[in-house]
């Protein structure tokens, strides 16, 4: 056995069913041993695509995603995907090749200090020094990646260590972690605040999905009967068609959600971190509300808003302890009135395609178990606002980093991890070009991913900000020289269709949902269409621009 064999055995013992990897010189010994592995190696067409696919796989399955690349440019091409996972707390193990140990620090061919490069965007980093340590190192990396607040772990593997003989496998023993007890004093204080509150709101973030506490959260909501708002990553924690759900809050949040939060006197914050996109001007966010904050990461408690009561640890036991019925009839009626009054009007004028209406039609026609991945831009916000979502693991979106090019690789990872489920990637003409090479991955593995591509021939979100806040000085946002996306998709072997009129929307939905293989629906939309509402920078969430 050599070092590469020890890595393969560790991955097998972790129950890994697939990895995303791109070969090269320094990592070649490991790829040689992957030929006999019990799991599958998926070849993306760019290392960034592989890292983002591992991210999508992890989010959609709840498992740890794995990506592998060679040294130098292979490793640096992973960095965006690693940072994306770090900011959204996604468990990943990333293995990079490195030049042989004697050449480290000598400016050898394809040498980069990837350990140093990634220090700020990983949960933990390791450099392999001895083949005997590799089995234990990989098992430890998985444990770190998925425990507590999850995140990516980097293993840098010098080439000589990967071919070194293994004298003895350093054994791995699970460290059984006992759950922290829930403080009865904190529970009583929180329950008193919940009883005293007249206008409580539950504010849910991505921690519910990350902690796999969706059922516990839903049981809590059904018991307390309080209105719910969600961050981008919290969407689906409570089904978006639930009567208590008011919508996403924040910069592009729904009006009822922002109104409820701003008028609340108590925020029960579950697995959320008071992100600036959710709060708007922090000093003006829910100014009259006391706060009960639940999070697994102690660094988030009191970081941006000091809570009256906080709970650090797994969410499930705390939610169960706080689940009591509360009578808030007048407040619920007020929230339902806002929800009805501010309901979206999908009957847009004109003969062109209206993106929010098309997305609503698609989500209503799709099977309930449909995974939607979104790229970054206007279409990302339209997905969050207008698609029906039944589970947070069915909505994959780059929240913290805002990575253009995320949607297609994430859809590949989600489809690989859930081969029987429908996967739809919603992208834009700017984002799709970031990782369009992954069309080849769809074709190679015959993945039935459906791509809905909105094309306004602009970098739409940047153009919208230039229109509103930069005196219509449009700089570097014109994409009118886009290729013919239908021909591009067909050249990769994908089926493709173009629509551009309102009366073709049903045709497009049927094309996406009834096509058996990978396909692309190219949708032309008005370049001047904006995302509303919009909270301007530095403003309160009550100061929404509505177009």
DSSP 214-234: HHHHHHHHHHH---EEE-TTT
Select from 512, 483, 514, 482 the least CA-distant residue to 496.
512
For strands 200-204 and 266-270, give the pairing.
parallel
Residue 360 bears catalytic tag: no
Which among 1, 28, 103, 110 is annotated as catalytic?
A: 110
**Terminal CA-CA length for the chain:** 65
Average pLDDT over residues 54-62: 98
Helix (H, G, I), strand (E, B) or coil at 536: coil
Check pLDDT > 80 for residue 478: yes
Q: What is the pLDDT of residue 503?
A: 96
Average pLDDT over residues 169-173: 84
Give the fold, CATH level 3, of 355-524: Rossmann fold (3.40.50)
Cα separation of 248 and 204, whole Å? 10
Select from 16, 72, 17 the least CA-distant residue to 47.
72
Number of helices (H), then strands (E), belonging to the chain: the values are 22, 18
Bridge partner residues of 55 (DSSP): none
CB 124 within 8 A of CB 157: no
Average pLDDT over residues 297-307: 97
Cα separation of 293 and 244, whole Å? 20
Cα separation of 420 and 437, whole Å? 24
Residue 428 C-alpha from the chain's centroid: 17
Check pLDDT > 80 for residue 178: no
Residue 149 C-alpha from the chain's centroid: 15
Cα separation of 460 and 254, whole Å? 20
Q: What is the mean pLDDT of the chain?
A: 97
**389: Cβ contacts below 8 Å, ≥ 6 apart:** 235, 236, 239, 240, 363, 372, 395
Average pLDDT over residues 101-108: 94
Q: What percent of the chain has pLDDT over 90?
A: 96
Q: What is the pLDDT of residues 332-363, one digit of tens each?
A: 999 999 999 999 999 988 999 999 999 999 99
Q: Is the model more confident about 534 or about 175?
A: 534
Does the domain made of 184-341 have the CATH classification 3.50.40.10?
Answer: no
**33: Cβ contacts below 8 Å, ≥ 6 apart:** 2, 4, 5, 7, 8
Check pLDDT > 90 for residue 72: yes
Residue 213 bears catalytic tag: no
Check pLDDT > 80 for residue 111: yes
Q: What is the pLDDT of residue 545?
A: 97
Average pLDDT over residues 86-107: 97
Bridge partner residues of 156 (DSSP): 96, 127
Q: What is the DSSP string of 130-163?
A: -GGGHHHHHHHHHHHHHSSS--EEEEEEEHHHHH
Residue 415 bears catalytic tag: no
Cα separation of 266 and 332, whole Å? 14
**268: Cβ contacts below 8 Å, ≥ 6 apart:** 194, 200, 201, 202, 203, 226, 292, 294, 322
Average pLDDT over residues 266-283: 97
**Domain limits, CATH 3.40.50.1220, in the chain:** 184-341
H helix runs in 151-297, sequence order? 159-163, 184-196, 207-210, 214-224, 255-262, 276-279
Q: What is the pLDDT of residues 196-253, one digit of tens each?
A: 999 999 999 999 999 999 999 999 999 999 999 999 999 999 999 999 999 999 999 9
Which among 14, 47, 111, 529 is annotated as catalytic?
A: 47
Q: What is the pLDDT of residues 412-456, one digit of tens each?
A: 999 999 999 999 999 999 999 999 999 999 999 999 999 999 999
**Domain limits, CATH 3.40.50.970, in the chain:** 3-163, 355-524
Which among 12, 38, 40, 109 is annotated as catalytic?
A: 109
| Rg value, the chain, Cα | 24
Helix 47-61 to helix 407-417 angle (10° resolution) is 50
Q: Indicate the DSSP class of residue 437.
A: G
Average pLDDT over residues 128-140: 97
CB 97 within 8 A of CB 30: yes
Average pLDDT over residues 157-161: 98
If one looks up domain 3-163 in CATH, what number appears? 3.40.50.970
Which among 360, 461, 466, 485 is annotated as catalytic?
A: 461
Which among 9, 63, 123, 159 is annotated as catalytic?
A: 159
pLDDT band at 177 (very low <50, low <70, confident <90, very high): confident
Q: What is the DSSP string of 28-93?
A: HHHHHHHTT-SSEEE--SSHHHHHHHHHHHHHHHSS-EEEEE-STHHHHTTHHHHHHHHHTT--EE
Bridge partner residues of 372 (DSSP): 395, 424
Q: What is the pLDDT of residue 263?
A: 98
Residue 281 bears catalytic tag: no
Structure tokens at 460: 């739409």
Check pLDDT > 90 for residue 547: no
Q: What is the pLDDT of residues 371-425, one digit of tens each?
A: 999 999 999 999 999 999 999 999 999 999 999 999 999 999 999 999 999 999 9
pLDDT band at 317 (very low <50, low <70, confident <90, very high): very high
Residue 328 bears catalytic tag: no
Q: What is the pLDDT of residue 157?
A: 98
Q: What is the pLDDT of residue 172?
A: 86
pLDDT band at 9 (very low <50, low <70, confident <90, very high): very high
Cα separation of 547 and 529, whole Å? 10
């Amino acid at each position: 056995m050599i070092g590469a064999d020890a890595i393969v055995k560790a991955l097998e013992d972790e129950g890994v069913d697939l990895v995303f990897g791109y070969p090269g010189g320094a990592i070649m010994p490991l790829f040689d041993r992957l030929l006999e592995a019990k799991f599958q190696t998926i070849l993306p067409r760019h290392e960034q695509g592989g890292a983002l696919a591992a991210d999508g796989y992890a989010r959609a399955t709840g498992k740890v995603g794995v990506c592998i690349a060679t040294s130098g440019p292979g490793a640096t091409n992973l960095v965006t995907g690693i940072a994306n996972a770090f900011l959204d707390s996604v468990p990943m193990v990333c293995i990079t090749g490195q030049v042989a140990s004697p050449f480290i620090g000598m400016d050898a061919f394809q040498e980069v200090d990837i350990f140093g490069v990634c220090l700020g965007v990983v949960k933990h980093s390791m450099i392999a020094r001895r083949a005997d340590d590799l089995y234990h190192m990989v098992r430890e990396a998985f444990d770190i990646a998925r425990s507590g607040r999850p995140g990516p772990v980097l293993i840098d593997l010098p080439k000589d260590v990967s071919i070194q003989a293994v004298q003895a496998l350093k054994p791995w023993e699970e460290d059984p972690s006992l759950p922290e007890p829930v403080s009865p004093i904190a529970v009583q204080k929180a329950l008193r605040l919940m009883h005293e509150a007249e206008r409580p709101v539950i504010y849910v973030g991505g921690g519910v999905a990350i902690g796999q506490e969706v059922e516990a959260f839903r049981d809590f909501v059904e018991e307390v009967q309080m209105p719910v708002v969600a961050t981008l990553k919290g969407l689906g924690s409570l089904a978006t068609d639930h009567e208590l759900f008011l919508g996403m809050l924040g910069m592009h949040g729904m009006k009822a959600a922002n109104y409820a939060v701003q008028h609340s006197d108590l925020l029960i914050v579950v697995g959320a971190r008071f992100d600036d996109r959710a709060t708007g001007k922090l000093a003006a966010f829910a100014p009259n509300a006391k706060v009960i904050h639940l999070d697994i990461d102690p660094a988030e408690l009191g970081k941006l808003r000091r809570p009256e009561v906080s709970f650090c640890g797994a969410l499930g036991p705390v939610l169960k302890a706080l689940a009591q019925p509360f009578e808030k009839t007048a407040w619920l009626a007020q929230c339902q009135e806002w929800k009805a009054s501010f309901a979206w009007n999908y009957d847009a004028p004109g003969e062109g395609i209206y993106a929010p209406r098309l997305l609503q039609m698609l989500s209503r026609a799709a099977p309930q178990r449909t995974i939607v991945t979104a790229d970054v831009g206007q279409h990302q916000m339209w997905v969050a606002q207008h698609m029906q979502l039944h589970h947070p693991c069915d909505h994959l979106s780059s929240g913290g980093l805002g990575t253009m090019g995320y949607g297609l690789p994430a859809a590949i990872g989600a489809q690989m991890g859930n081969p029987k489920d429908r996967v739809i990637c919603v992208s834009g003409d700017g984002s799709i070009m970031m990782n369009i090479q992954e069309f080849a991955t769809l074709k190679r593995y015959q993945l039935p991913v459906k791509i809905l591509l909105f094309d306004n021939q602009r970098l739409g979100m940047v153009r919208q900000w230039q229109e509103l806040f930069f005196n219509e000085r449009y700089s570097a946002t014109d994409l009118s020289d886009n290729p013919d996306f239908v021909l591009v998709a067909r050249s990769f072997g994908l089926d493709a269709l173009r629509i551009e009129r309102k009366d073709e929307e049903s045709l497009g939905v049927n094309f996406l949902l009834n096509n058996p293989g990978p396909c692309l629906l190219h949708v032309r939309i008005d370049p001047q269409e904006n995302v509303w509402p919009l909270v301007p920078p530095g403003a309160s969430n009550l100061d929404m621009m509505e177009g």
